[in-house]
Amino acid sequence: MNEGESVVARRRRVAGWVRDQAGSDLVVLPELWTTGAFAYEEFGSEAEPLEGPTYEAMAEAASDAGVWLHAGSVPERDPDGSLYNTSLVFSPSGALAAAYRKIHRFGFDKGEAVLMGAGDELVTVRLPHTVLGVATCYDLRFPELFRGLVDAGAETLVVPAGWPERRRSHWTLLAQARAVENQAFVLACGTAGTHAGVPQAGHSIVVDPWGEVLAEAGPGEQVLTVDFDPTTVAGTRERFPALKDRVLGLDRPRR
C-alpha cells in the first residue's frame, strides 16, 4: 500500500483488483488494508460499522467477479463503540459468509492490544471444495487456535496479515509450521509497503499440507495466483495420520 493514498482511493483500487480476478475460485486480501495494521491513530477515525463502506465495496466486487472473497480485515466499530479487527468473507453472490474478530491482538501494552477488543469465536466457512479456517496475523503465533479450527473441520487456513519486514523469517516459518502440523493448506496474505513508518514484509505465501511452498510473492504489491486442489487434504491426513495421534488436554495443567 502507498502511504498518502486516501482510504477511499485505496478501497476503489482494491475493488478493481478483486474484479480483475473473475474466473478464480477464491481471492484473499491482507489485514487492515484500508488503514495499515500499524496506523494506530487511524483505527478510530477510519473504523466502520460491520456493513460499512468497505463491506459494501467488497460485497459488490465479489459479486461482480463471481468469486469467494476473503476481504482481509477492517477496523470495525461495534454499535456499543468498541473497536475490533474484523475479517469479512463474501460468497460469489456478494452475501456475507462470515465475519471473524481477531482473537489475539498485537502490541502487548499498546497499539491494537489496547485500542481494539478481542474476538472470542473461532470461524470456519464452508466452500464448495474445502472448509476455510480463518485467523488474522498475530494469531499465526498461537497453534492452539489453528487446532481449534481443524477440530471444527478446517482444511484451508487463511491468514490475512500486516506483518513487519523485520520479523519476516517468523512469517514464513510459522506459515509452514501451521500447514505441516495441521496437514492443511495455508494461504497467508501480507501487506506491502510501509504503514505508519513500519516496513511491511509482503511475501504472501501459499503452503501445502506437506509444508511445501506452492507460491510466494515478492516484497511489493502484487497479485499472487496459485492453482491447488484442496480436496487432497483428506488423503494427506489418511496417509500420514499424525492428527489421529494427538493426546488431548495437554494444554491444561493435569493437577
Ligand X SMILES: NC(=O)CCC(=O)C(=O)O
Residue ranges in contact with ligand X by CB under 6 A:
31, 37, 106, 137-138, 141, 162-164, 167, 170
Nearer to ligand X, 61 or 71 (CB): 71
Whether residue 189 lies in the annotated active site: no
Q: Is 59 helix (H, G, I), strand (E, B) or coil?
A: helix
Whether residue 5 lies in the annotated active site: no
Whether residue 238 lies in the annotated active site: no
Nearer to ligand X, 31 or 208 (CB): 31
Active-site annotation holder among 46, 76, 102, 155 = 102
Which grid coordinates are listed for 197? 513508518
**Which run of H or of E encompasses 139?**
none
Nearer to ligand X, 196 or 215 (CB): 196
Nearest distance from residue 204's CB to ligand X, in Å? 14
CA-to-CA distance for 50 and 128, rounded, in angstroms? 25
Nearest distance from residue 167's CB to ligand X, in Å? 4
**Which run of H or of E encompasses 205?**
strand 205-207
Nearer to ligand X, 68 or 106 (CB): 106
**Which run of H or of E encompasses 72?**
strand 68-77
Contacts of 255 (CB under 8 A, 6+ apart): none
Active-site annotation holder among 31, 46, 76, 112 = 31
Greatest CA separation for the chain? 56
For 2, how many CA atoms within 13 A lie in the half-sphere containing its CB? Answer: 9
Nearest distance from residue 151's CB to ligand X, in Å? 23
Active-site annotation holder among 76, 137, 155, 189 = 137
Catalytic residues: 31, 102, 137
